[in-house]
Structure 1
Amino acid sequence: MTLRELQYLVELARLRNFRRAAEMCNVSQPTLSTQLRKLEESLGVQLIERSKRQVLLTPVGEEIVARAQKMLDEARDIRAIAERNRAPDTGRLRLGAFPTLGPYLLPALLPEIARKFPKLQLQLFEEKSETLLGLLRSGDLDAALLALPIEDPTLQTQPLFEEPFLLAVPQGHRLAHSGPLYLADLGAEEMMLLEDGHCLRDQAVSLCNRWGLDEIEGFRATSLETLRQMVAAGMGITLLPKLATEGPMAASAVMSLIPLADIPEPGRQIGMIWRRSSYMVPLLRQIAKITAQVAKTRLGQQSKSTT
């Protein structure tokens, strides 16, 4: 039994197709099939149910795939540990961020990381929060920027910064030229919100429920940019996280951004999350500190040391 044979088995279990699994492993389909039969012979059990229509794993095959994935993860970590020991600031960092944060923070963050760690290879993932958590748990991601709290005893959470929400209204709206206001001041106003699956939606719904605000019936935006364009078109009002309103996304001739005076200030806490067992923890703590400093600078907040 070799790690390569286990890799073939894991890829086949993931893709359920011999041809595609062979392509992912950079071998021919006959080679992959032969090696998997050798693995079955060496173990003395059938791992795969083969038919012309589909590929299924036997119960023992499913159990072995789960163990094989852990072995492959450990082998990958061993190679990475050795590489990082030779040069602590080199190697690859797989960093994730959710869609309502990544586009507005990463362009400012990545140059700072590159300046501090010029030999570090960054691989970025932009997915919804639940997907990022799954990738973290499976070992396919090293760290992720997520909205807190995250309840998982296998993951380490490092709080980074507080990001306030702003009320976005069309320039012709009755509140367009208001100073800071309270959510209670919105009265019977209805909010445009994101579709299900976005953590920002959950946070906005929580605020709406708290202050008796309603959501516009039958409307669910797929992105912050959709919400922004709908506000600019005069279709309604919404809440935007402050980082998404900086720079070229700031208030314009067709949209007004109004701070909220409620205490505590409506917003979200952003943190960096990684596996407690990760060998990269010392580096991740440094990346977390840089991230907090960059975000607080963009938000105009007083920077505090992140430990």
Structure 2
Amino acid sequence: MVPLPTPQQLRYLLALAEHMHFGRAAEACAVTQSTLSAGILALERQLDARILDRDAGKRVVFTTLGRELVGRARAAMSALAAVVETADAARAPMAGPLRLGVIPTVGPFLLPRMMPALRAAFPRLRLFLREDTTERLLERLRGGSLDVALLALPCACAGSDTLAVVRDDFVAALPAGHALAALPVVPAAALASERLLLLEDGHCLRDQALDACGFARGEMPGDATDDFAATSLHTLVQMVAGGLGVTLLPRLAVEAGIAEGADIALRELSGAGAWRTLGLAWRPNTPRAAEYRALAPVLARAGAAVARAQEVPGG
């Protein structure tokens, strides 16, 4: 009988596929680089197959077969995770560890409201959090290293089950004294002729801001440039305060005080798509799906605190 790969070997393989770097993959697996390299080599020998192109120098390049094996490894790890999830769900629903992924434009602003609510609703739940971009969270979800993710919908979530939870309105952020600041409510279309400041590529809020202002996915406003792309919402706020352009901020972030002390004007936004929907995503057919759905009303109540907050202040 051919010996099967171990879960640890598959973890090494998936970590390498995610990070495309031996050192970072080893760090993610909490092992030394030599241990991870030896594990990949042992897997190649065990399967009698070339997973990596050794002629590519120091770069990590997967062979065609290697890329297929990565997909098979994800499916295998997902199946193994389902075994554990089935036992957990039968033993004590909403108890024990839950690995939750969250995007950076949500985590710092919703978590302070969400964590106390979850502790009160599910006192035996042990929550482990991972903050990352949508693409990477979905990768971890498929690989079994996350149970559920809190994302902005719609997203490229093919292969995952999703559930909308709460609406998060956008707020127009303008330099102090900007002509549009004279309006109590700014039409989203009015921002199309402005220099629209965006998060760098990879953040879902970038595409959502473009959608709200009427641009096709991937299209850039004429006066916008990636030279001004920001790595975080805090950076976007400072760029607006510096007069570099205008941007959209999620209300969650505004109510959490992200613009406090910044010399900018905040205005309500109107128009189709002037909001985003936050939702949960998990692996299909997981035995814990009912538990993940039970998270939704708790998160919705936490998000409702934003809707009950005061109106956006003027600048």
With the length of structure 1 as denominator, give the TM-score of the two structures.
Answer: 0.77
1:1-307 → structure 2 map (5 Å cutoff): 6-14=6-14, 15=16, 24=30, 40=46, 46-47=48-49, 67=72, 70-150=75-155, 152=157, 154-185=159-190, 188-210=193-215, 214-217=222-225, 218-250=227-259, 252=261, 254-262=263-271, 264=272, 266-300=274-308
* 1:8 Cα deviation after fit: 4.3
* CA apart distance, 1:2: 7.1
Misfit runs of 4+, over 6 Å:
48-51, 53-65
Assess if the C-alpha contact under 8 Å between 1:165 and 1:240 holds in 2. Answer: yes
Q: Using a 3 Å threshold, how does the CA distance of structure 1 residues 119 and 182 change in structure 2: closer, same or farther? A: same
Q: Residues 59, 115 of structure 1: CA spacing in aligned structure 2 closer, same or farther, 3 A cutoff?
A: same
Offset of residue 285 of structure 1: 0.6
CA distance in 2, matches of 1:196, 1:125: 20
**How much has 1:187 moved relative to structure 2?**
7.6
**How far apart, in 2, do the equivalents of 1:178 and 1:195 lie?**
29
**C-alpha distance in 2 between matches for 1:219 and 1:60:** 40
Match of 2:312 in 1: none
Q: Aligned partners of 2:94, 2:110: CA distance in 1, in Å?
A: 22
Structure 1 gap segments, 5+ residues each: 302-307
The structure-2 alpha-carbon separation of the partners of 1:64 and 1:237, relative to structure 1 and needing over 3 Å to count, comes to closer
Select between 249-258 and 141-150 the one with higher mean Cα deviation: 249-258
Cα distance, 1:256 vs. partner? 1.4
Matched residue of 1:74: which SS? helix
Query: Does the residue aligned with 1:279 lie in a helix, a strand or coil?
Result: coil
Deviates more, 1:69-78 or 1:287-296: 69-78
Residue ranges of structure 2 left out of the alignment (5+ in a row): 310-315
**Would the aligned equivalents of 1:193 and 1:204 in 2 still touch at CA under 8 Å?**
yes
Number of matched pairs: 290
Q: Which has the larger radius of gyration?
A: 1
Shift of 1:215: 4.0
Q: In 2, distance between residues paired with 1:176 and 1:226?
A: 21
How much has 1:205 moved relative to structure 2? 1.8
Q: Distance in 1 between matches of 2:246 and 2:63?
A: 54
Q: CA deviation at 1:202?
A: 0.9
Q: Deviation string for 1:39-71 (max 9, x for gaps)?
A: 94xxxx6357899x9999998888777656544
Q: SS of the residue aligned with 2:181? A: coil
Structure 2 counterpart SS, 1:216: coil
Judged with a 3 Å threshold, the aligned counterparts in structure 2 of structure 1 residues 48 and 199 are, in CA distance, closer, same or farther, namely closer
Structure 2 CA distance, aligned partners of 1:57 and 1:227?
37
Structure 1 residues 86 and 231, CA gap change in structure 2 (3 angstroms): same
- 8 Å CA contact 1:47–1:58 kept in 2: the answer is no
**Residue 51 of structure 2 contacts residue 66 of structure 2 at CA under 8 Å; is this kept in 1?**
no
1:73-115 CA-to-partner distances (Å, cap 9, x unmatched) read 4334323432332222222111112111221112211121112
Task: For residue 175 of structure 1, report the CA deviation from its aligned partner.
Answer: 3.0
Preserved contact between residue 9 and residue 65 of structure 1 (Cα < 8 Å): no
Check 1:246–1:76 CA distance in 2 against 1; reply closer, same or farther (3 A cut): same
Aligned to 1:305: none
Question: Partner amino acid for 1:236?
Answer: G
Q: Distance in 1 between matches of 2:30 and 2:261?
A: 48
